[in-house]
Amino acid sequence: MKKTLCVVSKTESALKGQPALMVVRLMLPLRKIVTAPMMYGKIVGDVMANQWEHQVIIITGASAGIGKALAYALAPQSPKLVLVARDRLRLEAVAEACEGLGAMTLVVPTDVADPQACEEMIQRVIAKFDKVDVLVNNAGLSMWATVEDTQDVTRMKRIIDVNLLGSMYCTKLALPFLKDTQGRIVAISSVASLTGVPSHAAYCASKHAMNGFFESLRLELSETGVSVTIVAPDFVQSEIHVRSLGADGKPLGRLLQDHGSFLSAEACADIIIKAMTQRKRFVITSLRGKVGRWVKLCFPGMIDWMAKKGVAEAYRK
């Protein structure tokens, strides 16, 4: 029975502000029946299975990696997916696959580093669907180079423009519509936002700043019904490493060592969906990230050593 009550509590939290919650509450007396846990679990499962039906979900960086995996994972629940990235052809391929799984889609090629392009993207979403329920700020760019070795300082600015300012632009412009629906904002940060990482200074700076922006935004929106969820993935099997900029400002064009041992994009997408369903505040995807967050408070030197070792192993050829 305690397990059943736990399920009820988690489900009510996840469905906060939604009509479906009334259905769950009406079924509470079923717990008094002998078969209540089984029946109630089925009811909860059915409600959760339809969580995203007809919901308008904007996913930036949707052409590959985590964004694409997230779109594929959500599609069977019949949402209205807005797929945002720069590559139209790849977005259209993702859209076709999502529609085959049951979703409606809108492809909007956009460079999130351009505020005018972001505004036009939101306008297209409203013109097509008339609302926004979820915004997933996933578009990102990485860089593998020490500050000293970086040949073109404007490449650092590009990292900030995409990772930080792109998320800020999209969030600011979508905010009035998210308030109308008491929607969800999801920021895909990184475990690199929790500490310094060598050869990742610009990337870390962008992710640290993302955390500060969205933590502050959560406080500003605390009375509006809009939730803000920050997800900090560890290494993930995605193309971000192939597209990462090197010291010369050009993409590295190769996968990192031990790429196959990283968390899959599909598993990461599942974690993100669970977090945004439950309107979580902050989620770290790896055990070392969760433990390291606290170890750093008492033994910062140990975390520095781990960061250096991790980068050296990942980047070895």
Please identify every residue annotated as catalytic.
Answer: 203
Q: Are 151 and 248 in contact (CB under 8 A)?
A: yes
Sheet with 184-188, side-by-side order of all strands: 104-109, 80-85, 56-60, 134-137, 184-188, 227-232, 282-284
Q: CA-to-CA distance for 234 and 274, rounded, in angstroms?
A: 17
Q: Reduced to 3 states, what is the DSSP secondary structure of residue 116?
A: helix
Q: CA-to-CA distance for 230 and 238, rounded, in angstroms?
A: 19
Per the structure block, which two tokens stand in for 257?
A: 């060592």
Name the packing angle between helices 265-277 and 65-74 (round to 10°).
Answer: 60
How many other CB atoms sit within 10 Å of the CB of residue 95? 22
C-alpha to C-alpha distances, 173 to 112, 125, 214, 255, 293, nearest whole angstrom: 12, 11, 15, 35, 32
Per the structure block, which two tokens stand in for 78?
A: 């019949």
74 burial via Cβ count (<10 Å: 0-12, 13-18, 19+) = buried
